[in-house]
Each structure stands twice: as C-alpha cells, then as structure tokens.
Amino acid sequence: MGDHKKPAVTLQTIADELQVSKTTVSNAFNKPDQLTPELQEKILATAKKLGYCGPDPVARSLRSGVRGAYGLVLTESLSYMVTDPAAQQILQGIAEVFDERDLGLLTLPARLDRSSVVNRVREAAVDGFILNSLASDDPRIPSVLARNQPVVVLHSPRIPDVGYVGADDFAGGRKAAEHIVALGHRKVGILAFPLHEDDFSGPISIDRLETATVEPARERIRGYREVLEANGVAWNQVLTWEAPINSGEGGALGAGRMFDRAERPTAILAISDQLAFGAMEAARTRGLRVPQDVSIIGFDDIPYAAKTTPPLTTVRQPLRTAGALGARMLLDGWDDEAPSVILPTDLIVRASTGPATQA
C-alpha cells in the first residue's frame, strides 16, 4: 500500500522550496484571491511535485475549529442499524441533507458492552451529534452533552434544551388500538421491542412498562392500553411479549407463544412492522389465516409493509422526514429555546386486519 511515512511534506516544505512564507502557501490553497495567479500556480505545481496532497485536515480543524462532520449515535451496533428498515429510512432522511450540504457523517461504534464506546464519543472529531432512538439511560448521552456542541435527538429520549424530532407515538398507539377494537377484537396480544437496554425477553409487567427507558416503545404501548381499557379490556387480560431485539425472529417467537395458548388472541398489536412480520410468519407456520383467524397491525409503515401477503395494516410515521428535519435542525441551529417537533402518525389500513370472528 505504499509507505505512509514520507519525510512529511507540509506547507513549510513548499514555502522553503519557493522562498515564500507558509501563510502564502496556505492562501494558495484556501484564499486564491490573496495572491497573484502566477504565484498560486507555481505553488500548486511545486506542491504536486513534492507529493503534497493539500493541507492536513486535522491541523486545519485544530486551528479553525471546524470539523466538517457530524456524529451519529445509534442504538445497537452499526451493523444492526443497517439491517433495520426503519432505521434505514431515518438514515436516508439524514443522508439527504448531508449530501446536499457536502458534509460527512461519522457513525460511531455502539456496542454498549464495551466501556470504550463512551470514550469514542468523547474522541470523535465532529461538530455535533445526532442521537437516534436511544434509551434515556444510555451511557453515551452524558458524554455527548458534556461536549457542549449542537445536538439533536431523533425519537428518543427527550432531553431538556436539546432539539428534538419525534413522532406522536402515543396517538399512533391509540389509532392502532382503536382500529382493532372497532373491528371487534377484545382478545389481543401486544408485541414489543426492548423497553429497556437490558437483554430481557418475556411478558411485560406494568412496572417495566411504566419505567421503560425507550420512549417510543413506552408511548405506543400506553396508547394501546388506554384505548383497550376504555373499551373494557383490562390490562391483565392482555397478552404481552417483549422481544430482545426488533426483528422478525423476535416477533415470530413472541407471537408464537401467544398463538400456542389455549385462548389465543384474535389480534396482535406490534409496536413495529418488523415484529408484525414475525407475527405473520408465526401465524403462517401454524396454519392461521391473516386476517380471518388473526388480525395483525404494525407500526412505522416501512416500504416492505405494503408488499407482504397480505399487505400489512400499520401506523405510518414519517421516518425519512424525521431524519431530514433533525439533520436540518442540527445544522441550522436555533435561536431561543430548543425546538421540538412532533410528527403526526396515520393509520394505514391494508389487508392484515379484519373483523373479529365470533368463534
């Protein structure tokens, strides 16, 4: 790969070669109007001759204070993020804005089992951060805030004086539950992705729900609960399952346990489309028809939701918009108090939900 230990060509090397000051050489690269075109050309030529490839970005940042990149802090690892369609949508929104402005996006490592990830946040050479869907007790948050740089949070958690873009998860949860209740369902199961950043998996206790650190999960379920209880379905009649990860497999497992009970639910409320897909899969393997035998509703409306058989009824939230809006908020800053945008959610009725059968 060639040796990267050349005697180090710097501005000074070129300045010496041409008997000019290094400031002038610097200007040749950054402020061409400050010198005669001839001299600039001569400097550029010499730079090329000596194998100089432009001012060192690190040194430049140190002096000028500008990094030209922003950090992206994610739940779970980057490799997971890439596989999560909802996260992809958000990332796409962010990326649009960053592309538009020619800025780099530094994705930070996120394995919380490593204490070093907190340090990586401290060590990142960036101008600010986007925090996406973190638990409110994520250890990286204090590190980010300590840096006193612009920060925007997407979806979770809400932090005082920090810009925020999220969706109205509570209302979305209500819409999903209202739809299901209106179809006559009373025996329902709730499928959730993690409510806390531990590795728990199992039924969700009231306490666990109320103390949940992952806010969208908590709010969506609160929405379900409020509507269910208002319709005479007590919380202890509702089956619940928290998957250890937001994936089809997690959903399939949880839904499977519900389907295998004597009194199986006639409807599944999943707090993400991914989980809902898993529930559909679990139904399929058990010979249950969707929606005749069981109705399934998701949350997010990721693109694939329209393509499943049957197409998934779900609650849409504008993920890409959220990403783009958050990015713009971060880059443009704000004047007085930190803005907080709550995007609307919409019930998208497709074919995976239907009336409850009397059976």
C-alpha angle with apex 236: 233 to 241, nearest 5 degrees? 105
Residues pairing with 236 in the sheet: none
Which of 2, 19, 207, 234 binds DNA (CB under 7 A)? It is 19
**Measuring CA to CA, how many Å separate 59 from each of 12, 19, 54, 62, 100?**
13, 22, 11, 5, 26
Residues near a copy of itself (CB under 8 A) are 1-4, 6, 51, 53-54, 56-62, 67-69, 71, 77-79, 81-83, 88, 91-93, 95-96, 98-99, 101-111, 114, 116-117, 119-120, 122-125, 143, 146-151, 161-163, 304, 309, 333-334, 338
Closer to DNA by CB, 31 or 284: give it.
Answer: 31
Only one of the segments 12-20, 94-102, 230-238, 253-261 lies at the binding site for DNA (rule: CB under 7 A); that segment is 12-20
Count CB-CB contacts under 10 A for residue 67: 21
Cβ closer to DNA: 1 or 8? 8
24 interacts with, out of DNA, a copy of itself, none, CB within 5 to 8 A per kind: DNA
Q: What's the min distance (Å) between Cβ of 317 and a copy of itself?
A: 18
Does the footprint of DNA cover residue 10 (CB under 7 A)? yes
Per CB under 7 A, the segment of 22-30, 180-188, 285-293, 313-321 that binds DNA is: 22-30
| Minimum distance from residue 15 beta carbon to a copy of itself (Å) | 19
Give the span between the Cα atoms of 250 and 76, in whole angstroms: 15
Range 26-85, binding DNA (CB under 7 A)? 26-27, 29-30, 33-36, 39, 52, 54-56, 59-60, 62-64
Of the candidates 23, 83, 116, 119, which one interacts with DNA according to CB under 7 A? 23
* Gap between the Cα atoms of 127 and 149, Å rounded: 7
Q: Is 222 exposed, middle or buried (0-12, 13-18, 19+ CB in 10 A)?
A: middle
For residue 283, count other CB atoms closer than 10 A to its CB: 24
d(CA 97, CA 261): 48
3-state secondary structure of 130: strand
Task: Specify the residue, 35 or 347, whose C-beta has the smaller distance to DNA.
Answer: 35
Specify the residue, 50 or 171, whose C-beta has the smaller distance to DNA.
50
Helical segments of the chain, H only: 11-18, 22-30, 37-50, 57-64, 78-83, 85-100, 116-123, 140-146, 169-182, 206-210, 215-230, 248-259, 273-285, 319-332
Residues of this chain that interact with DNA (CB under 7 A) are: 8, 10-12, 19-24, 26-27, 29-30, 33-36, 39, 52, 54-56, 59-60, 62-64
